Amino acid sequence: MDKVHWQQQIDILQAIADHSGAVIGAKDLAGHYVYVNQQYSRLFNRPVQDFIGKTDEDLFSAETAQQFRRADQLAQQSSVAISVEERVEVNGIALEFLSLKFPIRDQQGQLFATGLVAADISKLKELQRQLQSLADHDPLTRCYNRRRILEIAEVHLKKARRYQQDFSILLFDLDHFKHINDVYGHAIGDQVLVGFAERVQSELRKPDDFGRIGGEEFIALLPDTNAHSALALAERIRLKIADWQFAALKGSRLTTCIGIAEFSLQLQRMDELSAAADHALYQAKAQGRNCVRMY
């Protein structure tokens, strides 16, 4: 193949690299850039020449440079391309990339460089997070839905069993909620549920979790909390709901019953804890509502 043909081949490959939309680069084994395409240059707002001969430590934050270097070293040890997700800040915005990194060898099979082809997947990852949020949260109150809150409960219980830590749950039921829906309409009922969830969550700690398990029933998960501390919290919440002046109810009083159960030798599974809290909740209803009962 003559020199002209070789140059044409190089020009073709360069054009493909620059118009592919992918971020493409290569570094020597010590991490110095030997090639970047135009997309690499545009992404980081630096001329191509600024990269050549420099390392990631020269160009990026220490955290980003370490992340890139670890992946490069893994690729050098592999016989095939490896896939990694990488995060890098560009102009103050965190971007996420799916990167293929691969060893580059000469005709004798000697490793001499590491290659990179990366695609910006930031929008895809954000969409995934949004879809996951929709799957995990109640669409009305935005607290966790039944499936997700019970999954989280199992994590708390596993930790409580392993380390013999305190763990309690609060089970809530809004008093006479059917009457609210029947008299004032479901739109007002929905507003009540949203306001109730907001008021309960304002009393919870950061480690606590809160979810809607159906209708007007909610649950709070309280790690590192014994039953007596849970009782004090439940009373604060009960009073806060009873003091809530919701204008749309035209003077009608909104109250809640709360049942409490604590992790113990007798109550180690979530179904056992839920049944115990439900029993305490039933007692609260039977004793006139607007009250808290502990199993």
C-alpha 202: how far from its chain's center?
A: 21
Q: What is the mean pLDDT of the chain?
A: 93
pLDDT digits (tens, 9 = 90+) for 11-30: 788 888 788 889 999 999 99
The Cα–Cα gap between 36 and 94 comes to: 21
Half-sphere exposure of 115 (CA within 13 A, CB side): 17
Residue 180 pLDDT > 80, yes or no?
A: yes
Residue 202 pLDDT > 90, yes or no?
A: yes
Q: What's the rounded mean pLDDT across residues 56-63?
A: 93
pLDDT at 92: 84
pLDDT at 227: 95
pLDDT at 18: 81
Residues 97 and 64 sit within 8 Å (Cβ to Cβ): no
pLDDT digits (tens, 9 = 90+) for 138-176: 999 999 999 999 999 999 999 999 999 999 999 999 999
Dihedral sign from CA coordinates of 232, 238, 241, 244:
negative
Q: How many CB atoms lie within 10 A of CB 173?
A: 19
- Supply the residues annotated as catalytic: 216
Q: What's the rounded mean pLDDT across residues 201-230?
A: 97
**Amino acid letter for position 37:** N
Phi, then psi, of 96 in degrees rounded to 5: -120, 135
Residue 4 pLDDT > 80, yes or no?
A: no
Please tell me the CATH code under which domain 137-294 is placed: 3.30.70.270
- Its pTM stands at 0.77
Inter-CA distances, 123 with 92, 128, 158, Å: 16, 9, 35
Per-state percent for the chain, helix, strand, coil, to nearest 5 = 45, 25, 25
Inter-CA distances, 272 with 1, 156, 182, 275, 295, Å: 78, 14, 34, 5, 11
pLDDT band at 1 (very low <50, low <70, confident <90, very high): low
pLDDT at 10: 78
Nearest alpha-carbon partner for 241 in 193, 179, 185, 181: 193
The SS3 of residue 232 is helix
Structure tokens at 173: 């039921």
How far apart, in Å, do the first and last CA atoms of the chain sit?
A: 86
**Amino acid letter for position 36:** V
Q: What is the DSSP letter of 221?
A: E
According to the CATH classification, is domain 3-127 in 3.30.450.20?
A: yes
pLDDT digits (tens, 9 = 90+) for 93-149: 899 999 999 999 999 999 999 999 999 999 999 999 999 999 999 999 999 999 999
Domain spans in the chain, listed from the N-terminal domain onward: 3-127, 137-294
Nearest alpha-carbon partner for 69 in 109, 41, 33, 120: 33
Structure tokens at 223: 């790690």
